Amino acid sequence: MTYLDVARQVLPITEKILLNEGALGWIALRNRTSLVARTTKLEWKEMTSGAIKVNPTVATISWYFDGTDKNFSIPTANIMVWDIISFQDSTFKAKWDLRIMITWITSWTVATARKIGGSDIAIGTTDFAFVSSMAEAEGSVVSTRRAYEVPATLYNFTQIVRAWHSIPWTDTALFNYDFNNIKAELRTQAYEKFSRAFNGMITSSIRTSVTLGAGWVRRVAGWLNFFALNKFDASTGDVNGASTENVKTVSWLMTKENVNFAFKYVIENGWKLNAMVANTAQIMVLNSLYQEKINVNIVNWTVAWTVGGSVNVIKSPINIDWNEISAIYLDTSMPQDEVIFFNMNTIEAVPLEGRAALEEITEPSGKNDNYSVDLLWEWTVKVKNARANTYVLKALTLPTN
C-alpha cells in the first residue's frame, strides 16, 4: 500500500478551491497556526480591553458641575481618585466635551467629582460615564491596579468534517476512467467535497452538542456570527445574553451612514474591519452605494513628524484608516436582510491534536460494486475578540429592483 500524507494533500487543495470560490472557509485555513485543540472543547480568552464604562444611577441637570466638588452617583467599584471622566449617550455618541475629575470616593455608589473642562450638560441614567484618563502620582510603585475589562473565557466544540466519493465498477469496466488513475480521481472529487464540508463548518452560526445513544456525541462548531452576537460567562464560557453594542437594527435600506457607524464602532474600540459577508440582496445595495470604489484602496496614510502623530486623508466612507474592506463574501445561507462586517485576521482553523485526516479507499468486492473513498478529519474554529472586530447590521430593507 502506498502511504498517502493526506494532511499535506487535502489542505492545500481545499484552500485553493475555497479561495477560488471566494468562500469564507479559506480565511480560517489561511490563518491556521500550529495551535491544536487538546480536547473536544477548545477554550481561549477573549482578550479585548475597553474603557471602564458605567451608567450614572442618578441624573444631573445642566450646570450641575460648576467647578466645585459635587456628589455624583455612579458604581465606584472600578473608579479611582483622580480619574478623568467623559460621557457618551446611549448610542455611544460623545456628549459634548464635558470632563470631570473624581476627587473622592464616598461609597460604592457615590463619588465626589469636579468639572475640569468642557461644556456642562445634563447627564441621564442611560448615558455612559467612562474613564478617559487615569492619573498617577510621581513616585508611584509598580502594583496591580485594575483591569479595564476582565477577559472572558469562550469555547468552541470540535467537529468531524467528512467527504465521500464513489465510482461505479461499471464505469471502470467500460474504460470511462483510466484504471491506473481511479484513486487519483476519487481523491480529486473527495477533496472538493471536503472543501465544501469544511466551509460549511466555518459558516455555521450554531454551536451545540447533541448526545445520542451509547454515549456517542455529534458536535457542531460555531462560527464568527455566534461569538459576535452573544455574551459569555467569563468563568464557564456559556452564553449568558445577547450582544447589543455591536449590533444595529436598521429597518431601512443600508446607507453609507450605516457603514460609517460600523467603522466608527470598531475603530473606537481599538480594532479594525477588513471584510464583509452578506447574501445577494445586500451586496447589490452595497454595490449601488459605492459602485467602482469597492475593493479599491483609496486611503492616503501619511505620518506628520510633529507632535500629534499622524494625518489621515479619507476619500471614501468605506475605506477608513487600515479598515479597507478588501474582501466581500457572498454567503447564500445568510439572511437577506443582514450584513456582517468583520476582521479576517481573527478567525483560525484549529485541528484536534493527534487526529490526522483518516482516509479509506475501498475497491469492488462481494459487497461493493464501486470504488470509493472516505475522508474524516476533526477541526474547530477559533474566533478571537469577536465582538470588538465585528459589526452587524440587521433588519435591512430589501431592494425593490
Asked if residue 231 lies in contact with residue 241, where contact means CB atoms within 8 angstroms, the answer is yes
6-48+153-394: what fold? Answer: phage-related protein like fold (3.90.1690)
Say how far residue 316 (Cα) sits from the centre of its chain. 24
Q: What percent of the chain has pLDDT over 90?
A: 27
Ramachandran bin of 226, using left for φ above 0, alpha for ψ from -120 to 50, beta for the remaining angles: alpha
Residue 3's pLDDT band, with cuts at 50, 70 and 90, is very low
Residue 230's pLDDT band, with cuts at 50, 70 and 90, is confident
Q: What is the pLDDT of residue 213?
A: 62
Q: How many CB atoms lie within 10 A of CB 385?
A: 21
The CA distance from 204 to 118, in Å, is 48
Q: How many CB atoms lie within 10 A of CB 347?
A: 26
Contacts of range 214-220, beta carbons closer than 8 Å, 24 or more positions apart:
217/40, 219/40, 219/157, 219/158, 219/159, 219/160, 220/157, 220/159
For residue 187, the surrounding DSSP H or E stretch is helix 182-203
Q: What is the pLDDT of residue 292?
A: 54
> Which residues contact residue 78 at a Cβ distance below 8 angstroms, ignoring those fewer than 6 apart?
52, 54, 146
> Which residues contact residue 106 at a Cβ distance below 8 angstroms, ignoring those fewer than 6 apart?
71, 76, 112
Q: The whole model's pTM is what?
A: 0.75
What does the pLDDT look like over 6-30, one tens digit per residue? 777 888 889 999 988 888 899 999 9
Asked if residue 270 lies in contact with residue 388, where contact means CB atoms within 8 angstroms, the answer is yes
Domain ranges across the chain: 6-48+153-394, 53-134
Say how far residue 258 (Cα) sits from the centre of its chain. 18
Residue 303's pLDDT band, with cuts at 50, 70 and 90, is very low
Domain 53-134 has CATH 2.40.10: yes
Q: What is the pLDDT of residue 330?
A: 85
Residue 299's pLDDT band, with cuts at 50, 70 and 90, is very low
Region of poorest pLDDT, from 76-80, 191-195, 207-211, 316-320: 316-320
Bridge-partner residues for 248, per DSSP? Answer: 393
Mean pLDDT of 224-246: 80
Mean pLDDT of 62-85: 92
Which of the pair, 317 or 38, is modelled with greater confidence? Answer: 38
Domains 6-48+153-394 and 53-134 share a fold: no
The CA distance from 21 to 38, in Å, is 31
> What's the grid cell of residue 192?
472538493
Strand pairing report for 99-105 and 110-117: antiparallel
